Chains A and B, each alone.
Chain A
């Protein structure tokens, strides 16, 4: 009898992959139908991230560097939305630069909608510089000579004609640098930006590279860090603006539990199969 249970367990390793796919789909979809939000205990890095924005005074300028495209938008857009809403609510100004050639339209549309909802004027309260190739070149240029790389903004306006950008001459004009990135741009900001910008740098990252940036928090190279959907949800809670990330966390929970179960069952099945192979009867 014991052998048959083991045989059953061992046979699970040959389960059709489509059954696993179906389980994943159910684990993600079902909690969304019964959406609920929970309260989180924010990490210290998330609190530092939020504090840096909460300390902004009226009229101060934030440099927002964004790098995501449609593929990674759902993970990073909630961070951008909360950040932009918070910056505008403090009547701070914002200069936005996009570091992904395939994300320019997406980023501009999102921020333009938020600006319109907050009653902010383009050119006075915010400027969208658009995309330029070479992240190192753009970062250095923004610090020392913005017009060398950006003679015009994304909409074709001359930067010297817009009230906000005409006053920009380099790093001293920014009170905060916020980097929201899914790829290597955050690393470029650490290498090229931290020595050139005197303002604190806060970073929002896609989950995949989140843990690797923890050492920059300890070294005080960056001031705040949020990573992945969990980081975005913590930030939404800290900012008092519960939205997409907090809502999606219930689906994230069930999917994580499913992954843990898959690992446990997969190993149990593997060892059962190995034990049966070694047993002579």
Chain B
């Protein structure tokens, strides 16, 4: 219980939980220490693990075409981190955005559009459970998309589809809320297990 390796984390945990009682400077101090350390940790990881190994490898083979080509993004990256808008920095951002966008296009078309459409276009019917479920899903998918169609006023069959889409979305959001609640509670259980088991040894 008095082992510093457990006492410090336990006191920090209790310090964070103190905000539940009321606003206090202890919580604010811990909050800012956490933010600073998180930024410092991320900076070290990004620089030492994310950038340096590749740059060192490139520096060891300066004649290599791949290493030479790395000079442009490196300069653009340095210009970008200068935090003032400049042409080289803008070039770096543009290159990164264009490459990321280009890489995404085939996957978006294949996995978010075509595969999802293929999974919807399956035999439907009222005679079997599977056929009926497929029919419900197909109708609800179309209705959900109709709900987000704003080109014309939703009247008649369009209005009915939009309402069905809204209710479908609400069912889905309800399910997502249930899972999100589960997730938050799980994280709290983790902290309580630390306090009760690891620190106070009240739980085996």
Contact = CB atoms under 8 A, between A and B. Distances in A.
Q: DSSP class of A's interface residues: helix, strand, loop or mixed?
A: helix
B182 A230 contact: yes
**Closest 4 interchain pairs by CB?**
A74-B190, A207-B183, A219-B119, A191-B107
B46 A101 contact: yes
B189 interface: yes
A35 B189 CA distance: 12
Contact of A24 (B183, B186, B188, B203): B188
Given A218-B119, A219-B115, A212 B176 contact: yes
A35 B204 contact: yes
Contact of B183 (A75, A248, A251): A75
Interface of B: 20-21, 38, 41-42, 45-46, 49-50, 53-54, 56-57, 66, 100, 103-104, 106-108, 110-112, 115-116, 118-119, 172, 175-176, 179-183, 185-193, 196-197, 202-204
B104 A136 contact: yes
Contact of B182 (A25, A154, A220, A228): A228
A255 interface: yes
A151 B106 CA distance: 27
Nearest to B118: A219
B21 A18 contact: yes
Nearest to B104: A191
Most buried by B among A32, A140, A259: A32
Given A28-B192, A221-B111, A228 B119 contact: no
B185 A256 contact: yes
B54 A149 contact: yes
Contact of B180 (A29, A133, A149, A207): A207
A180 to B, nearest CB: 14
A195 B57 contact: no
Contacts of B202: 33
Interface string A189-227: 011111100000000001111111001101111000001
Contact of A33 (B21, B104, B172, B196): B196
Given A33-B202, A102-B42, A133 B185 contact: no
Contacts of A194: 107, 110-111
